[in-house]
Amino acid sequence: MRYAMAIDTLKCVGCSDCVIACQMENNVPIGFCRDWVVESVHGSYPEVGLELRSERCNHCENAPCVRCCPTGASHIVEGGIVLVTQNKCIGCGACIQACPYDARYSHPEGYVDKCTFCNHRVTEGLNPACVSVCPTKCMYFGDLDDANSDISNILATRKYKALAPEAGTNPQIFYLV
């Protein structure tokens, strides 16, 4: 089992519904977020284009946040999901520094917080909140080890990229381009 997410940049409209759905689902305090939307513009008028990316923790196979965590709070569970055990976290912030995706933040209650792939939903057979809410249906979530899953199919047929491959983290979020 290897959970992953593919996000179609050609369909995403950058509305931030993924962000607010995550905040509501996971009770993320106002002023913080576990996912966010990046817009990058290339070219110059009128030959101009843009790419929209809904970004979050990449649930890396080779996760620097897990390696650097002094207490073992950051760890990897079944399906490759990277989690933080909140009552083990001392809030030192080493993982925040180590993450090449800037995917973690210090929660006001003193621990480090980030995307969980909505593990509490996934274990109930639901999609993560961001995937469920997306009005453009541009997000695909599933098991890469299952060759028939939606995500395996979409990655087999579409061109895609991952972020910061040079960091060697083996990220599990893929962007369809």
Q: Which is nearer to another protein, 164 or 177 (CB)?
A: 177
Q: Which is nearer to another protein, 75 or 167 (CB)?
A: 75
CA distance linking residue 15 with residue 37, whole number of Å: 8
Smallest distance, another protein to C-beta of residue 170, A = 22
Binding positions for another protein, rule: CB under 8 A: 10-11, 13-17, 19-21, 23-27, 29-31, 33, 41, 43-46, 48-50, 52, 83-87, 108-109, 111, 116, 118-120, 132-138
Contact between residue 141 and residue 128 where contact means Cβ atoms under 8 Å apart: yes
Q: Which is nearer to another protein, 137 or 159 (CB)?
A: 137
Instruction: Calculate the alpha carbon distances from 146 to 58, 143, 174 in Å.
Output: 19, 5, 16
CA distance linking residue 117 with residue 115, whole number of Å: 6
Smallest distance, another protein to C-beta of residue 147, A = 22
CA distance linking residue 144 with residue 5, whole number of Å: 9
